Amino acid sequence: MTSDTVSAFAAALRVPQGPVDLTALATHTTPAFDGGKAEGRSALEALGPELADLQEQLFANGRTGGACRLLLVLQGMDTSGKGGTLRATVGLVDPQGVRITSFKAPTEEERAHDFLWRVDRALPVPGEIGVFDRSHYEDVLIGRVRRLAPAAEIERRYAAINDWEEMLAAGGVTIVKCMLHISRDEQKQRLLERLDRPDKHWKFNPGDIDEREVWPDYRRAYEIAIERTNTDHAPWHVIPADRKWYRNLAVAELLLGALQGMGLTWPEADFDVESERTRLLTEG
């Protein structure tokens, strides 16, 4: 996959700055990709070796003083496939270089701090790929819909997020923000599948059906959040996610593009290679 192809995905999926209307963004299309499911899966598999190589270079740089790191933020409604995406994409690279955090409802300790406290503690260190399965955006999504904080506090958070993400970017963090965009009907099908299959019952939560009643409120909260935090240093991508194979391919392409954009190289040796070789070959 050339970097031109990768740029094609980024260009097609990156949300233009300005007001956002999610109803105008399709959930079942395959932007920047012409093939079907079989071709999409092959294309994803073909990305594996380059993704793994670049991840190892990133890791090697982190071990030798480099500051670069990558943060993938996955957001989306229930069943949009955050976990499946993560497994299909980040699962292609060495798990030692990946730091995954799944954010649940905040604990009492977390609620006692500013909303960015817990995400700050979960950041990748240099050389790592960090993944947030849900994130600080929940605090302006469910936080807004379910009025978990006063309106003025919700309002304050958009700028706080932008300031925090800008500081991260300045410190070497490449931020890739993805909203997995599914239709309300696709969600219904996926919830029904969880009910139909005993091996999926553990994933079902009756509360998920209640949340469907306020689907338009969540959509509006996403639109506001994306518009107000769609910055140059941390832009938003909306991924049509009704087709799982496309969703996986698209996120993998965005990851690959982000890694390519870091201009990574193998670190130089900080020792004399020849004298070390001689030491080894002449040891007792």
Binding residues vs a second copy (CB under 8 A)? 60, 63-64, 83, 86-87, 90-91, 94-96, 98, 100, 102, 133, 188, 191-192, 195, 198-199, 201-204, 206, 209, 212-213, 266-269, 271, 273, 276-277, 279-281, 283-284
What's the min distance (Å) between Cβ of 236 and a second copy?
23
In angstroms, the CA 188 to CA 204 distance is 12
Burial of 228 (0-12, 13-18, 19+ CB in 10 A): middle
What single-letter DSSP state applies at residue 135?
Answer: -
In this complex, which beta carbon is closest to a second copy, that of residue 98 or of residue 256?
98
Nearer to a second copy, 29 or 42 (CB): 42
Minimal distance, residue 163 CB to a second copy, in Å = 30
Closest separation in Å from C-beta 251 to a second copy: 14
Taking the least distance from each CB to a second copy, the nearer of 85 and 174 is 85
- What is the smallest separation between the CB atom of 54 and a second copy, expressed in angstroms? 12
| 239 sits in which H/E element | strand 236-240
Residues 6 or more apart in contact with residue 75 via CB below 8 angstroms: 82, 134, 135, 137, 138, 141, 177, 178, 179, 180, 222
Beta-bridged to residue 70, according to DSSP, are: 129, 174
Which lies closer to a second copy via its Cβ, residue 18 or residue 206? 206
Q: Please, what is the minimum distance in Å from the beta carbon of residue 153 to a second copy? A: 31
Alpha-carbon distances, residue 91 vs 86, 99, 131, 274 (angstroms)? 7, 12, 11, 37
State the DSSP H helix or E strand holding residue 240, giving kind and residue range, or none if neither. Answer: strand 236-240
- Minimum CB distance to a second copy smaller for 90 or for 239: 90
Min. distance of Cβ 77 from a second copy in angstroms? 15
Q: Give 36 or 216: the residue with its C-beta nearer to a second copy.
A: 216
